[in-house]
């Protein structure tokens, strides 16, 4: 038995900030909108919000997007002074902290608009710098955003608040379903009529934005003044029809660990809980110290692809809370060897898309759910 290599992470998500920068500048050049919003919600899709936000700005992002105010405040606490949009709010959110920190609150209702105006007053904002808001309208996703029946009332109210210098309506936006090109184009038409209605009400939103990654890549005519790009910035495809590599995008995350134990077993040996897997011949079994405690889906049992020493294997048996097993057959494998769950296919690793396919989900979920005991290591190659 040789001595195991001494260095290498036990388990980690390796985050390539150079790839974030590269992806943002590649996407910026492609969509060529005057503004580019990098979406860093949910801990930057599991990649680590603060370092990713900084890398996105270095790559040319002009705005950052988060779901809730607390995420925006965390960016501000880290010293990031770029415009930040937050668009999903606690019904009790008072917005005082948000407007004091200069976060652009995206409002979907008159109640939210009024709450932001009140917050501006309570925060002591001067009339020449009232809270900046964007109005979010629903154009067919039936999720967040003002329903079209409420547009006229919301726009009139916003124009009134703006005339009193209680808010400044800088933008208007909506979000696409990506159900089909036709559905997205229908939403775009509704969006344009919403913008026209807002203008008729006396508003002049200079930042119109509709496209997220999918439309930014595939429907450039929907880019308006800004795109809001999340998943593509991480080098991951928004859907099966789009290969990130074809757009010059590079994967940002490598999920890896080290083989914690190796054992040699005869043919017919059952592996892991419920013994769903049995070796078909005498085999070396490698133990990988990553499990659903780190967010690796249990659905990857007997399905998830991994790479060890350049060889491709499949998870053998159940993924447990802390660990899973790989059947390396007769191939060489030693304690301390690197195991890559996903990374850069150009380097022979399985991709996030491979994991999404193996576990019947989407790339977004594969990376965003990661956490637990996983260490994030940031490199800037």
Ligand X SMILES: *Cc1c(COP(=O)(O)O)cnc(C)c1O
Tokens of 187: 């939403």
The residue sitting closest to ligand X, measured at its beta carbon, is 230
Q: Please report how close the Cβ of residue 213 comes to ligand X at its closest, in angstroms.
A: 3
User: Which residues, in sequence order, are CB contacts of 95 under 8 Å at separation 6+?
Assistant: 69, 89, 105, 115, 116, 118, 119, 131
Binding site for ligand X (CB under 6 A): 39, 41, 87, 175, 212-214, 228-231, 238
CB of 147 to ligand X, least distance (A): 16
Q: Which of 45, 200, 273, 292 is catalytic?
A: 273
Q: How far is the CB of 234 from ligand X (least distance, A)?
A: 8
Return phi, psi of residue 344, to 5°. Answer: -100, 115
Examine the residue annotation and report whether 247 is marked as an active-site residue of this protein: no
Q: How many angstroms separate the CA atoms of 223 and 365, rounded?
A: 25
The secondary element (H helix, E strand) that includes residue 261 is strand 261-265
Q: Which is nearer to ligand X, 37 or 315 (CB)?
A: 37
Nearer to ligand X, 198 or 231 (CB): 231
Contacts of 247 (CB under 8 A, 6+ apart): 26, 27, 30, 217, 232
Q: How many CA atoms lie within 13 A of 210 on its CB side?
A: 27
Single out the catalytic residue among 41, 45, 234, 247.
41
Q: In angstroms, give the least distance from the CB of 283 to ligand X.
A: 40
Judged by beta carbon, residue 214 or residue 223, the one nearer ligand X is 214
State both tokens at 139: 């154009």
Residue 228: enclosing H or E segment and its boundaries?
A: strand 226-229
* Complex with ligand X: residue 205 or 238, whichever CB lies closer: 238
126 in catalytic set: no
**Among all residues, which ones are annotated catalytic?**
41, 273
């Amino acid at each position: 038995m040789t001595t195991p290599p001494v260095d290498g992470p036990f388990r980690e998500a390796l985050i390539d900030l150079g790839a974030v920068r590269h992806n943002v500048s590649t996407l910026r050049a492609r969509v060529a909108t005057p503004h580019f919003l990098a979406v860093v919600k949910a801990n930057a899709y599991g990649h680590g919000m603060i370092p990713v936000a900084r890398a996105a700005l270095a790559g040319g992002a002009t705005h950052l997007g988060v779901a809730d105010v607390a995420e925006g405040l965390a960016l501000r606490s880290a010293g990031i002074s770029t415009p930040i949009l937050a668009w999903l709010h606690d019904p009790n959110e008072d917005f005082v902290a948000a407007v004091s920190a200069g976060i652009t609150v995206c409002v979907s209702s008159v109640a939210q608009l009024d709450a932001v105006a009140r917050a501006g007053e309570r925060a002591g904002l001067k009339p020449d710098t009232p809270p900046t808001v964007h109005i979010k309208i629903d154009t067919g996703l039936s999720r967040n955003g003002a329903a079209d029946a409420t547009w006229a009332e919301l726009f009139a109210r916003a124009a009134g608040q703006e005339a009193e210098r209680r808010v400044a309506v800088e933008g208007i936006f909506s979000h696409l379903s990506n159900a089909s090109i036709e559905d997205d184009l229908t939403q775009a038409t509704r969006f344009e009529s919403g913008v026209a209605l807002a203008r008729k009400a006396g508003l002049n939103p200079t930042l119109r934005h509709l496209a997220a990654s999918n439309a930014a890549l595939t429907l450039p005519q929907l880019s308006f003044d800004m795109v809001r790009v999340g998943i593509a910035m991480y080098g991951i495809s928004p859907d099966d029809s789009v290969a990130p590599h074809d757009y010059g995008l590079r994967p940002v995350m490598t999920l890896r660990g080290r083989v914690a134990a190796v054992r040699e077993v005869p043919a017919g040996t059952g592996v892991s809980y419920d013994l769903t897997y049995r070796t078909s011949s005498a085999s070396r079994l490698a133990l990988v110290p990553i499990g659903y405690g780190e967010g690796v889906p249990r659905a990857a049992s007997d399905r998830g692809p991994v790479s060890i020493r350049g060889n491709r294997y499949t998870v053998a048996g159940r993924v447990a809370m802390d660990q899973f097993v790989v059947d390396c057959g007769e191939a060489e494998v030693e304690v301390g060897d690197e195991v890559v769950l996903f990374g850069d296919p150009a380097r022979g690793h399985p991709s996030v898309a491979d994991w999404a396919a193996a576990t019947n989900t989407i790339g977004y979920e594969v990376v965003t759910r990661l956490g637990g005991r996983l260490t994030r290591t940031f490199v800037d190659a």
